[in-house]
Structure 1
Amino acid sequence: MKKTLLGECLAEFVGTYIFLFIGFGSVEALVAGGSNITWGELTLTWGLAVTLGVFIAGGVSGGHLNPAVTLALAVWNGFERRKVIPFIVSQLIGGFAAAASVYFLCRSGILAFEQAGGIVRSADSGWGSAGIFSTFPQSGLTLFQAGMVEMAMTAVLMLVILAVTDSRNGAAPKLGLAAISIGLTVMLLGTSFGAMTGFAMNPARDFGPRLFLMLAGWGSSVVGPHYYGLIVPIFGPIIGAIVGGGIYHKLIVPYYPSAVNASEKEESREQIAS
């Protein structure tokens, strides 16, 4: 059992690392690398990166790659509680390692970007380069509004994850298309609402890298305005994933044909017994 759990945690680490390594690389190319990448291309890159991460880890661990997903599956899908903390720790380490790797590879470009823009890492201006690895709110957005955006996006993402991976759903895609559907959902949500909060939708995508930034010269400034980084990209996705799971299980699952037939058979047996 220990070897199995270790393998699952390694898969979660590698899957999370890969999708964030690609994602951070695309943001660095946009912000500091002089690339002409558009917002649509950026969100597509993130979506495809998530798909790759799920393909890599899915056969071993289920490809959660997200503490919010892991917690929601524990609440609604019977995911083993003993695995929750090991999975989350593996995902956070994957995020930390991905940020460290991209920083190491792109350090000279990031330093040049900071020098050209007069960015001081320990000050508020440091958010300009810290945003390569972590998320910050759009100007004028309150903490509550940002939290609601992250919650809503993650609820939709979780709803899709459950729907496309449920064997009871006759409309669920087959032959690995579930992972593509999840990636496309990330892309669509990022395109629609992502500019408001950076579409974290995943505490590991934000908190692990933010920890790295704290150690890499940005210090406590990287927490963001009003402790944003310790609140919105952590609790927004967690609450959203649990809400999305509840919507799926309470409003969709009971009306699948298999569930309806089972309910009718149970009612029939009760009537005969009475």
Structure 2
Amino acid sequence: MIKKDTLLGELFAEFIGAFILIAVGAGSVAALVLMGESYNLWDISLIWGIAVTMAIYITGAVSGTHINPAVTITLAVFRGFSWKKVGPYIVAQIAGCFSGAALVFGLYNKSFAAYEQANGIVRGSIESVSTAGIFSTYPQALLSNFHAMFVEIFITALLLIAILAVTDDRNGNAPKGKYAPFAGILIGLTIAIIGGSFGALTGFAMNPARDFGPKLFASLAGWGRIGLPAPNNYFWVPIVGPILGALAGGFIYDNFVRKYMPSNQEETAESKTA
């Protein structure tokens, strides 16, 4: 049975972690698009990665800082995370991402208006994808939805393999003991590297809450159908792709890496001789 006070604290932590992710990450994109700051793809990717690291250090001791439905579902499938918590965690994650987008919009509100006026952009028109993209991800125009989904499957699988590896007690190369906190840095760097390598294709969502929450906010804040369901009904791709990719990553890590770690093989040999 889940203790209500414990679960409530975990949900607050997931909300706060997701809020930090979008507030910092989308804030950097707002500075790039609206203020003309000279960020490049690596700069933006690194900021998103550091945002995740920040969230881990702030909330990890309470909830584990999933801040991503794909992570939560994968941990339930492969690591015994309680299925009773999956739904509440996802709601908290989406709410945190929605609120992070709202904060960025509020802080940059006048900049949004000035940018739209200067560039002749009507909020809610197809041209306003350029500003809606501050909050959530949209693919390059040359990509089909299925191509974009494959990108999201691959990069999220890579992310989950890294997360499972650096947090695995059986992995002799994972940081442990007094070095365990370095796992948060490694996860953040993994996100930055993935963003720097493949972010130009789809915006490297890798997280259904990170995308759906801000898209929901944008749809309510004047972007309408540009937010949801997004051009070409794209909204489902950053939901389905990351979940499939995360599950694939969990399967690959457990069956093709973890299974062959020395400690695991020793346990198997002992069970056979017992």
Whether the TM-score (by the shorter chain) exceeds 0.5 is yes
Match of 1:227 in 2: 233
SS of the residue corresponding to residue 32 of structure 1 reads helix
Paired residues in the alignment total 268
TM-score by length of 2: 0.96
Percent identical across equivalent pairs? 51
Residues in 1 aligned to 2:162 and 2:226: alpha-carbon distance in whole angstroms: 35
Q: Which amino acid aligns with 2:116?
A: E
In the TM superposition, what is the alpha-carbon distance from 1:58 to its structure 2 partner? 0.8
* 1:194-231, Cα deviation, whole Å (9 max, x unpaired): 110001100111100111111101112223222101x1
In the TM superposition, what is the alpha-carbon distance from 1:5 to its structure 2 partner? 0.2
Q: Does the CA-based 8 Å contact 1:150-1:197 persist in structure 2? A: yes
Match of 1:118 in 2: 120
Are positions 1:190 and 2:178 aligned together? no
TM-score by length of 1: 0.96
Residues in 1 aligned to 2:210 and 2:247: alpha-carbon distance in whole angstroms: 18
Match of 1:241 in 2: 246
Residues in 1 aligned to 2:230 and 2:44: alpha-carbon distance in whole angstroms: 23
* 1:4-50, Cα deviation, whole Å (9 max, x unpaired): 00000000000111121000110000000121122211111111111
Are positions 1:95 and 2:97 aligned together? yes
Match of 1:178 in 2: 183
Match of 1:272 in 2: none
1:139-150 equivalence runs, <5 A: 139-150=141-152
Root mean square deviation of aligned Cα: 0.9
> What stretches of structure 2 of length at least 5 have no aligned partner?
none
Residues in 2 aligned to 1:196 and 1:114: alpha-carbon distance in whole angstroms: 25
Are positions 1:49 and 2:25 aligned together? no
* 1:35-74, Cα deviation, whole Å (9 max, x unpaired): 1122211111111111101111110001101010001111
In the TM superposition, what is the alpha-carbon distance from 1:266 to its structure 2 partner? 1.5
> What stretches of structure 1 of length at least 5 have no aligned partner?
270-274
Q: Does the CA-based 8 Å contact 2:19-2:100 persist in structure 1? A: yes
* 1:108-152, Cα deviation, whole Å (9 max, x unpaired): 111111111211222211211100001111021111110000110
Q: Does the CA-based 8 Å contact 2:21-2:97 persist in structure 1? A: no
